[in-house]
């Protein structure tokens, strides 16, 4: 299969939200997504996040959503918030294309570090990241407050 | 003791870096901080991060460093990257002043969520966050690549 990998545009926001919802179901949190299409469109326009998408014949079938942050230890840090390929396109190599486009973006933006998270039971994802020799550390708890 | 809590200015960057280094030592990573004062100053000026500081008699003795990000599940999300009070000023209530100033900032910036991390053995910090009824989840691994 051949894919086109490119930066996201505002018109891709419905596809992004759809893929995020698919991933939330996979992550056993089917009701977690409360952000709306309007949230996506507004925050994308405000430059709060950016994304890479992969298309096949005009349909977005995978994406990575990220933003620039700051590591107090290392300096400028690209944070990869979400990375998903739709079920029917997994194991085709498109994930590699997307992930490597994000790495390129991180380097282009002069990031010293790229950070993301993976669920400790998500073995296919962990195996994927091991190929890039990413460090993986389970010593931290995620803390959250909701407003 | 009385403290002044305010938004950080560029002149506070040396104090921020000093506090970050103190925290890295506490977190058993004494050599982890490779970001320089120039990194701090440049990225602060570029708007990559913002911070709240607490002063006593003109000396910064605590700080919280944060940036606006995006939760694909919830929308606009304030990420608290680092939060530290210097050893000699702990247990004085100043941490509460700083943390609540960050919460105010999050609400002012229309964040739907605030996220941060804590080391799973850092009991004083975990007890502090429990008072705010923060959720704490150890199911995620932190993944990192360095450039």
Asked, for residue A66, whether it belongs to a domain, the answer is yes
Asked, for residue B71, whether it belongs to a domain, the answer is yes
**Domain that residue A77 falls in:** 4-130
Contact assignment for B145 to A139 by CB distance below 8 Å: no
DSSP count for chain A of H helices, then E strands: 4, 7
State the smallest CA–CA distance between residue B134 and chain A in angstroms. 5
Kindly report, residue by residue over B92-114, the tens digit of the pLDDT: 999 999 999 999 999 999 999 99
Q: How far apart are CA A21 and CA A15, in angstroms?
A: 10
Asked, for residue A135, whether it belongs to a domain, the answer is no
Contact assignment for B76 to A48 by CB distance below 8 Å: yes
Kindly report, residue by residue over A20-36, the tens digit of the pLDDT: 999 999 888 889 999 99
* Confidence label for B27 from pLDDT (cuts 50, 70 and 90): confident
Beta bridge partners of A59: A56
Residue from the list A72, A73, A119 with its beta carbon closest to the beta carbon of B140 = A119
Q: Give the number of domains in chain B.
A: 1
Q: What is the largest CA-CA distance in chain B?
A: 43
Kindly report, residue by residue over B106-144, the tens digit of the pLDDT: 999 999 999 999 999 999 999 999 999 999 999 999 999
Contact assignment for A143 to B129 by CB distance below 8 Å: yes
Asked, for residue A141, whether it belongs to a domain, the answer is no
B1 pLDDT more than 80: no
For A63, A118, B127, the CA distances from B121, given in Å and listed in that order, are: 35, 20, 11
Asked, for residue A82, whether it belongs to a domain, the answer is yes
Phi/psi region, residue A58 (left: phi>0; alpha: psi -120 to 50; beta: rest), is left
Q: How far apart are CA B94 and CA B1, in angstroms?
A: 9
Averaged pLDDT of chain A:
96
Q: How far apart are CA A18 and CA B126, in angstroms?
A: 35
pLDDT of residue A27: 87
Contact assignment for B141 to A126 by CB distance below 8 Å: yes
Q: What percent of chain B has pLDDT over 90?
A: 95
Q: Which of B31, B12, B23, B6 is nearest to B87 (CA)?
A: B23
B22 pLDDT more than 90: yes
The answer to whether A86 and A79 have CB atoms below 8 angstroms apart is: no
Chain A residue at shortest CA distance from B102: A145
Asked, for residue A145, whether it belongs to a domain, the answer is no
Q: Is A26 a catalytic residue?
A: no
Q: In this structure, what CATH number is given to the domain that contains residue B22?
A: 3.40.630.30
For A113, B46, B74, B122, B144, the CA distances from A68, given in Å and listed in that order, are: 10, 11, 18, 27, 14
Asked, for residue A85, whether it belongs to a domain, the answer is yes
Asked, for residue A95, whether it belongs to a domain, the answer is yes
- Tell whether ipTM is more than 0.90: yes
Q: What percent of chain A has pLDDT over 70?
A: 99
Interface test with B, best of A73, A108, A120 (most B CBs within 10 A): A73
Q: Which two tokens stand for residue B88?
A: 């000699």
pLDDT of residue A42: 98
For residue B11, the tally of other CB atoms under 10 A from its CB is 9
pTM for the whole structure: 0.94
Kindly report, residue by residue over A73-119, the tens digit of the pLDDT: 999 999 999 999 999 999 999 999 999 999 999 999 999 999 999 99
Q: Which of A62, A49, A82, A44 is nearest to A5 (CA)?
A: A62
């Amino acid at each position: 299969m051949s894919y086109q990998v490119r930066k996201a545009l505002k018109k891709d926001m419905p596809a992004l939200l759809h893929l995020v919802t698919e991933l939330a179901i996979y992550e056993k949190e089917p009701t977690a997504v409360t952000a709306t299409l309007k949230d996506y469109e507004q925050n994308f326009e405000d430059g709060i996040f950016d994304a890479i998408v992969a298309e096949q014949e005009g349909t977005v079938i995978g994406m990575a959503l990220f933003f620039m942050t700051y590591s107090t230890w290392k300096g400028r840090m690209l944070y990869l918030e979400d990375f998903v390929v739709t079920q029917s396109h997994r194991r085709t190599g498109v994930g590699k294309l997307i992930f490597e486009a994000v790495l390129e973006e991180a380097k282009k933006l002069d990031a010293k570090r790229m950070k993301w998270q993976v669920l400790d039971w998500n073995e296919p994802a962990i195996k994927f990241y091991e190929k890039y020799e990413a460090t993986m550390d389970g010593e931290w708890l995620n803390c959250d407050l909701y407003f």
